[in-house]
Chains A and B, each alone.
Chain A
């Protein structure tokens, strides 16, 4: 059936992406000037330590063998060990990932809550002052870097008014929601600006579609036309949009975690870069890419469910 073909295609693509990213990271590590082991150990490296690490990392073997080892290890979910903390990377990531996922999910939901109604309002009152204000807000949001929005919210709502904590994470799900509210709002504001712009124009398109005229010509009430005919088509575009921009959501999460000091994979990434903990950086990049692929897979499935043109 069509549906399986589409999904199957996406799964294959995910696998190809993982391999591609693996190749990329491996190439980066090994084609760079200098010695990876040296770079990893930095100042901590004595000659013996470097030689030891060389052997540990298998750097004294020929390149194809190294690459094979690299792939093999990844397939068995062994992402190596963090040089700085001496614990398996997988453990490190597993500890931080749920926080990032929660943050991203909350941000996504908030963004939809902001963008969808505003897009509808702007599209229905196209050319009016509501539309102009909404588009202006969208433009403004798009021009603001995520960390700036975060800082503003921090300064005003957290530090200033003391409505929210300044950072970190709670201990328990409900408390987490409270702690993550401001960060998700930050991310959501930026993300909703992207969604808003595209959603509005696709809504305008739908509103002017011939089938909307036809539905009106049948004598249906405006509410029915909007609710049944427009909404269903619009939700398909929304899902498509979400999929398209998922990777920017993940990118934004990385920055947001840094601003708010949230122990998630984003901050882990940045910290690892500074501590030259390449094993972690490698592993994280892989995980993030796989994550995005999975989300895209879900989006494809959702689309196929909503849009009969795909699955029949």
Chain B
């Protein structure tokens, strides 16, 4: 999606709509297996998507409203997307990951809903148990992430995973998998906005959906043979290039220089 915005002449409305559907399909394809293994947890997902689902719908409406109603709205959205991509690049660069965060005192929401879980960690041959904490701190951040995801047609795993891992205190494997679960709900809700506003073109969506379905299978096989660090660097490089090109396109479209 970032590269398509930067390189192709297609309007950003259609690219965002397609990006959202690709993120949705990717999440729908991978989440069931994670759920069966106990890696994705619906107990963790439920309180989060109550607030983030509405935020992603509002984000979708706001993004389409800006490009369709605000003069030079497309350029402003391109610049904003470039800034967000820079933020994602920085998050990838500086964020830490905790395999198994230390257990903290649960907050009142986690306690009331008894948000806990367990999964079998093959690498350790051990069943890992965990419970969440600091949910009231994380929820406003999930609202903001939902808004950005809906507005720019993104998956938002880049922000969900650090929040789930470092703030809520769930193990990294659970954070990655539960993030996909959250994305599936948020993006499904926001997809309705893009759908009824005609921001989806079959000519773009059909090949992208088929490509995502095939790519997810090839990617799973390649991932077992590729070092995660190399994939991370490749994604970071794409983010950086797309951020620069998006901002440059937006600024040149505004004709302020």
A binds B: no
Chain A interface (Cβ within 8 Å of chain B)?
A: none
